Structures are given as C-alpha cells and as structure tokens.
Amino acid sequence: MTRRESLKVFLAASIWTLLKGRVDAAQSTSMKDIENLQKNWKSLLADGTKLPSPSEPLKLSKEEWRKRLDATQFNVLREEGTEPPGTSPLNNEKRPGIFVCIGCNLALFTSDMKYESGTGWPSFFTTIVGVFGTSTDYKLILPRTEYHCIRCGGHHGHVFDDGPPPTGKRWCNNGVALRFIPRDGGKA
Ligand SMILES: [Zn+2]
C-alpha cells in the first residue's frame, strides 16, 4: 500500500467511526437526557402562555365539573372512564408543544415525551415532574396503576412497564383529558 492509499483507508475509517458514533448517540437516550427533557419543558411552551402551578389545587363540586367539562371529558376525568382506542386526534399530533390537563390547564407532558405506542391512545415515556398522583385499581381484576392530575384530581390514564428505554414506562393517556398547545401558535 502506498502512503497515499493508506491515508485514504485511514480517512475512510475515521469518517465511518465518526458517522457511526453519531448514529449510536442518536439511538441511545440516557436517563440524563430524560432529566433534561423534564427540566427544560418550558422551552416547548408557546410565548406568553400562562399556566397554573401544581401547588394551586383546583377543587370543584361534581355539578361544577359537569358544567365545565363535556360528557366524554367528565366520564374520563371524574368517573375514570376510558375513551375508545384510536379516537383521539392527539394520536397523530406531532408538532412541538405542551399537553395540559383539560380540567385545570396544568402542564403534564411535552411533545418530546410522546411516542407512537401503537395502542390507539396518546402515549408518553415520561412526564413533567410532580404533576401526577397514582393509585392502584382492580377494574380489570389484575392491578393497574391509575394516574391523575395532582392539581384537579382528574383521572388521565394508566401507566405500564412496557414503554421504550431508558424509562421503560408507557403513560397511556386518554386524549379527551388533554389539550395541546402548539409552541409556534396555530390551531390547538
Ligand atoms: Zn387537572
């Protein structure tokens, strides 16, 4: 091999290593990346949007909730109902932005936390920190972890252990319990 040829081989190998490194980096999300998504969630919030804090509870009577929510929203949020799979327009929502509770506007998830689970419900592998409480329900005999908005107590969905790495969680959320606020404006 001439000096020129070996240089070519060396360069090709270096470029390959560089490219491969980038692909590997793009594929492996670490827990540190998840923490950053959680910490920087406001970077996906549309300018000038005012949202409540988890520490300002919203308590309403059943009748007040009935007035504030439509029948489907009331059934999910206040009676732990489940929307039929594949019915939420939010399944296909891919724009950058924030998902808030339809009951009280608390920010729950960002678009960066969403993934396609194939279940027919909007699914997320993590949440904004401190926005949900959980309980165990036995409605389907086997125990499931129910989660609800920490601010208004509204039921949102169930969390399962079959999500993508590194969290391994699937927050399976009823679309009717969420409102999407696109970061760059436009139709919610
Ligand atoms: Zn809420």
- When pLDDT is averaged across residues 33-52 and rounded to a whole number, the result is 97
Alpha helices in 28-106 (DSSP H): 31-39, 62-68, 71-79
Distance 11 CA to ligand 1 centre (A): 56
**Burial zone of 17 (CB within 10 Å; 0-12 exposed, 13-18 middle, 19+ buried):** exposed
Catalytic residue among 101, 104, 152, 172: 172
- Sign of the Cα torsion 70, 133, 139, 87 reads positive
pLDDT above 80 (res 182): yes
Distance of CA 165 to the CA centre of its chain: 14
pLDDT above 50 (res 126): yes
pLDDT tens digits for range 72-116:
999 999 999 999 999 999 999 999 999 999 999 999 999 999 999
pLDDT above 70 (res 119): yes
pLDDT above 90 (res 186): no
pLDDT tens digits for range 1-26:
566 666 565 555 555 555 444 544 44
pTM score over 0.75: yes
Task: Please indicate whether residue 172 is annotated as part of the active site.
Answer: yes
The backbone torsions φ and ψ at residue 32, rounded to the nearest 5 degrees and listed phi first, read: -65, -40
pLDDT score, position 93? 98
Distance 60 CA to ligand 1 centre (A): 11
Distance 105 CA to ligand 1 centre (A): 6
